[in-house]
Amino acid sequence: MSRPHLLWLRRDLRLGDHPALEAAAAPGAPVIPVFVHDPGLGGTWALGAASRWWLDGSLRALDAALRARGSRLVLRSGLAVDTLRALARETKASAVYFTRGYEPFIKPVEIALRDALAEDGVECRRFGGHILNEPEDVMNKSGEPFKVFTPYYKTVLARGEPRAPKPAPETLAAPKTWPKSENLDSWGFQPTKPDWAGGMRAAWTPGEAGAHARLQEFTTAIMRGYGESRNMPGQDGTSRLSPHLAFGEISPHQVWMAVSAAAETAGASGGAESYLREIVWREFSYQLLFHNPRLPDQAFRPEFAPFPFVEDSAGLRAWRRGRTGYPIVDAGMRQLWQTGWMHNRVRMIVASFLIKHLLIDWREGERWFWDTLVDADLANNSSSWQWVAGSGADAAPYFRIFNPVLQGEKFDAEGGYIRRFVPELAGLAPEHIHAPWNAPPAALAKAGVRLGRTYPAPIVDHAKARARALAAYEKIKQA
Ligand code: FAD
């Protein structure tokens, strides 16, 4: 029997359309799929708590799918390079295959792995598949990375349709003996005391099958109206594929193909076009992070570096807990806490509130999202936070400050989203629910709302906060 190939899985937890897996299996060699739990990998950007919860489910689903094909997932913990090297020696593997990453911390690991394996005479083969366009392949006319979305988008479209996705292998050759695997339970990815994951369990099905079921639901029932519904947090109007994409349970090629095909058959081309544009935003974020490794912790536009943020631990606490007194902000923060996800429109509102109303550093919000989002993705998270802060590439202008009341009235007119996540306001009529402090005392009494008791009074005044934010912006403009 030929020597086995190791398949190192990280954020590519699927079997379909998986170039590294396809290549590892092609010669008919036994394949040993392995996931390495390296708790220090990523340093300050090691996996957050919600991501660890998701990963647990995703690894279980992947193992089950592999077993159905005569294979299995080997779990090991330790430093990634040392662990893979040791496993290659132990199994006498002739090669290690993996999907490349784009986070700044992964490049040195990939290089160290290549060098360590070379010393042992083991081949090291790296593949794409997590994004549609490799960052090195899409440059502007001067050969520089793009900093503005629209020309990037046009260039990506001009490259033509992405390649067609490939099916999952039906069987995988197994090694003569399987190396030992650790027990996933012992990694402690599921919270126990307290178990805060109940809302996440109810909302999600991690794993490749869950991803495809959701894609199917999206293309058949949601996509047609996506152009409008994508802005309505109270509706199930977006794909909710973000955690599946973040963990590589589905490839963007699979998504692109399914959405394009559905657009032709269902005549939903408008929805498809806006949707695919978001997929290209994802690509844009990835190339930004790849070319700007400091994106997660440093203002992309250096003129924003001296921005006079304030220390406000009480404000930060109120924001995290969804107790700011602004219903749409609080609903979003509680949706995040309960389900590990927040609607994009509300992400923009809560981020703007933190940065501009509270004048708190965007990195605080970025960190909180990192720990609590099931779709935490270094590229999308850092570029989106910088986008809202005004310091990012092609960012929203800083002086455009969302009014949380108007945003609520516009995108959650009836207040259904707020009622769901802020039940203490459920009895308020639509005309009062977005600004309960302006509601007549009788309306509050009827709804059982006592401001400052059952629900907080606003922690900042919108007009004053707006003026303070604009004054802070003036300071850096003058500097
Ligand atoms: P859909 O509307 O169905 O979009 C489809 C896919 O396109 C998404 O799954 C996602 O992969 C991609 N996408 C959509 N919007 C964006 C965007 N603005 N930028 C880049 N890619 C996008 N997205 C993450 O995946 N991980 C994050 O950590 C993350 N952090 C964010 C932080 C802030 C402050 C903001 C404003 C946005 C953030 N986003 C992040 C982007 C966006 O909010 C989510 O991708 C989206 O809400 C996921 O829901 P969905 O899959 O239903 O999106």
Residue 385 C-alpha to ligand 1 middle, in angstroms?
Answer: 11
pLDDT of residue 270: 81
Residue 282 C-alpha to ligand 1 middle, in angstroms?
Answer: 7
- C-alpha to C-alpha distance for 463 and 357, rounded to whole angstroms: 9
Residue 237 C-alpha to ligand 1 middle, in angstroms?
Answer: 13
**Span 299-346, pLDDT tens digits:** 999 999 999 999 999 999 999 999 999 999 999 999 999 999 999 999
7: which strand partners?
33, 97
- Ligand 1: which of 344, 360, 371 to mutate, most ligand atoms within 8 Å of CB? 344
Residue 337, C-beta contacts closer than 8 angstroms, at least 6 positions apart = 199, 321, 322, 372
Residue 269 has pLDDT above 80, yes or no: no
Residue 1 has pLDDT above 70, yes or no: no
Using alpha carbons, select from 240, 420, 417, 416 the residue that is nearest to residue 341: 240
Residue 71, C-beta contacts closer than 8 angstroms, at least 6 positions apart = 31, 33, 172, 174
pLDDT of residue 27: 81
- Ligand 1: which of 254, 278, 348, 374 to mutate, most ligand atoms within 8 Å of CB? 278
- C-alpha to C-alpha distance for 405 and 433, rounded to whole angstroms: 9
Range 21-47 average pLDDT: 96
Omega before residue 4 within 30° of 0, cis: no
Is-contact 223 274, C-beta < 8 A? no
Q: How far is CA 125 from CA 32, 100, 286, in A?
A: 15, 9, 21
Residue 14 has pLDDT above 70, yes or no: yes
State the pLDDT confidence band at 474, using cuts at 50, 70 and 90: very high
- C-alpha to C-alpha distance for 126 and 147, rounded to whole angstroms: 27
Q: Ligand 1: which residue has its CA nearest to atom 10?
A: 242
pLDDT of residue 197: 95
Q: Ligand 1: which residue has its CA nearest to atom 42?
A: 344
Residue with tokens 């402690």: 188
Is-contact 149 394, C-beta < 8 A? yes
Pair of tokens at residue 281 = 């935003």
Mean pLDDT, all residues of the chain? 97
Range 347-370 average pLDDT: 98
Range 32-50 average pLDDT: 97
Residue 216, C-beta contacts closer than 8 angstroms, at least 6 positions apart = 258
Q: Ligand 1: which residue has its CA nearest to atom 47?
A: 344
- C-alpha to C-alpha distance for 391 and 398, rounded to whole angstroms: 8
Using alpha carbons, select from 105, 130, 110, 102 the residue that is nearest to residue 45: 105
pLDDT of residue 395: 86
**DSSP H or E segment with residue 217:** helix 208-217
**Span 176-229, pLDDT tens digits:** 999 999 999 999 999 998 999 999 999 999 999 999 999 999 999 999 999 999
Pair of tokens at residue 98 = 């993996």
- Ligand 1: which of 341, 350, 377, 384 to mutate, most ligand atoms within 8 Å of CB? 384
Q: What percent of the chain is predicted at pLDDT more than 90?
A: 95
Under the phi-then-psi rule, with left for phi > 0, alpha for psi from -120 to 50, and beta for the rest, what region is 415? left
Pair of tokens at residue 53 = 């919860």
Is-contact 416 327, C-beta < 8 A? no
Which residues surround ligand 1 with Cβ inside 6 Å?
A: 230, 238-242, 245-246, 278-279, 281-282, 285, 344, 347-348, 351, 369, 373, 375-377, 380-381, 384-385, 388
**Span 127-183, pLDDT tens digits:** 999 999 999 999 999 999 999 999 999 999 999 999 999 999 999 999 999 999 999
Cα torsion at 472, 473, 476, 479 (round to 10°)? -90
Other CB atoms within 10 Å distance of the CB of residue 268: 21
pLDDT of residue 413: 98
Q: Name the DSSP class of 33.
A: E
Range 424-435 average pLDDT: 98
DSSP string across 389-434 = HT-STTPPPTT----HHHHHHHHSTT-HHHHHH-GGGTTS-HHHHT
CA pseudo-torsion sign 102, 333, 388, 473: negative
- C-alpha to C-alpha distance for 328 and 346, rounded to whole angstroms: 7
